[in-house]
Amino acid sequence: MKRPLENIESVFDAFKELKVLIIGDVMIDSYIYGSVKRISPEAPVPVLNVGRREQRLGGAANVALNIQALGATPILCAVVGDDDEGEAFKELLKKRGIASRGILKCDNRVTTVKNRIISGSQQMMRIDSETEAPLTSLEEKTLIQLIRQLIDEVDLVIFEDYDKGCLNERIIKDAIDYSKEKGIHTAVDPKKRNFNAYHRCSLFKPNLKELKEGLKIEFDVTISVELRDAVVQLHQSLGFDKALITLSEHGVYIFDQEEGDLRIPAHRRAIADVSGAGDTVISIAGLCLVLGMKDRFIAALANLGGGIVCEYLGVVPIDKERLMAEATENNIFELHE
């Protein structure tokens, strides 16, 4: 029997009992830090004197880090190349205590790596190594079988789509249908290619740009009726249970056909980097969904967490202690009572 949720601390305690499957595109976020003191004699380009290098888990793996940081147990399911970078990715998982049994190696792919060249606090260049090719029929079949095995173990499935080829309509449909058979919630952070494939998911979380591109419409987000009409149109197409739209400086908007809709304004922040904020939002919202939290609580806590990570440079998971402190300060739990 589930313990009653009496305060914000009990919510985070309940997170510890949850296990989450994250399916999607993974990558290594690589950083090369240094300083520039001269221009190359070979070409009119700056010469970076390298000070240090760093590799971080990125893409769907950052969602796994957020789930872990919130206290739940992540299981990551994705494809990587049969290459040195694929081994490096699995080693990064090991260092963070995240299982790699859901990682499928494919010999005809390369592992996605985003290399960022940084001088001081200024990013000078990004060099990407990746493929966006779809999976072969054998890879697709193997991945579907693996997903089904892992779904049997979890309380929540999160789809983290970066349009790199791990997800397609057949994989998405099979995973959502199988999750529904098992009574397991599905939360989606979509991208353009598969935007309209997530039929009947529990929670659909695009950002404002993705919403407009997915529906192929323009509207004024500051006009509430226009935003609601767009999300209603989206609901008619996908039939999800809830939608949570991140609106950048305009906060977040949550929609449920039966419970209604609500906009939560953004908190004032010293924004350093918005990268990875969506990963934090989907992680918090998904866990709250499993616990049966009210929509206004889900939106408020996810909005708070997404704002916090924007104050840090680079892609970082949420700081649970800071989130709990700010949730207490802002009386977030009262929104569930």
pLDDT of residue 119: 93
Residues paired with residue 26 on neighbouring β-strands, in sequence order: 59
pLDDT score of 337 more than 80: no
Sketch the domain layout of the chain as residue ranges.
19-35+48-201, 202-337
Per-residue pLDDT tens over the stretch 94-148: 999 999 999 999 998 999 999 999 998 788 999 999 999 999 999 999 999 999 9
Short-list 167, 123, 165, 122, CA closest to 144: 167
Amino acid at 50: V
Q: Which CATH superfamily is domain 202-337 in?
A: Ribokinase (3.40.1190.20)
pLDDT score of 1 more than 50: no
**Residues with catalytic function:** 279
Distance (Å, whole) CA 146 – CA 140: 10
pLDDT of residue 2: 58
Calculate Rg over the CA atoms of the chain. Answer: 20
pLDDT score of 165 more than 50: yes
- Say whether 200 sits in a helix, a strand or coil: coil
Question: pTM of the prediction?
Answer: 0.94
User: Running DSSP on this structure, what letter comes out for residue 195?
Assistant: G
Write out the H or E segment, with its range, that includes residue 304.
helix 295-309
Distance (Å, whole) CA 245 – CA 206: 5
In the predicted model, what is the mean pLDDT of the chain?
A: 94
The answer to whether the CB of 265 falls within 8 A of the CB of 291 is no
Q: How far is CA 332 from CA 5, 225, 326, in A?
A: 13, 26, 9
pLDDT of residue 266: 85
Q: Taking the CB of residue 23, how many other CB atoms lie within 10 A of it?
A: 27
Short-list 126, 171, 144, 133, CA closest to 28: 126
pLDDT score of 251 more than 80: yes
Structure tokens belonging to residue 144:
């579907």
Q: In what order do the strands lie in the sheet with 260-264?
A: 103-106, 73-81, 19-24, 156-160, 185-189, 203-204, 242-246, 252-256, 260-264
Chosen CATH of 19-35+48-201 out of 3.40.50.300, 3.40.718.10, 3.50.50.60, 3.40.1190.20: 3.40.1190.20
Give the sign of the dihedral formed by CA 42, CA 43, CA 46, CA 52: negative
Short-list 54, 238, 40, 36, CA closest to 119: 36
Checking phi first, is residue 254 left (phi over 0); if not, alpha (psi -120 to 50) or beta? beta
**Strand ranges in 211-275 using DSSP code E only, listed in sequence order:** 242-246, 252-256, 260-264
Structure tokens belonging to residue 96:
């963070």
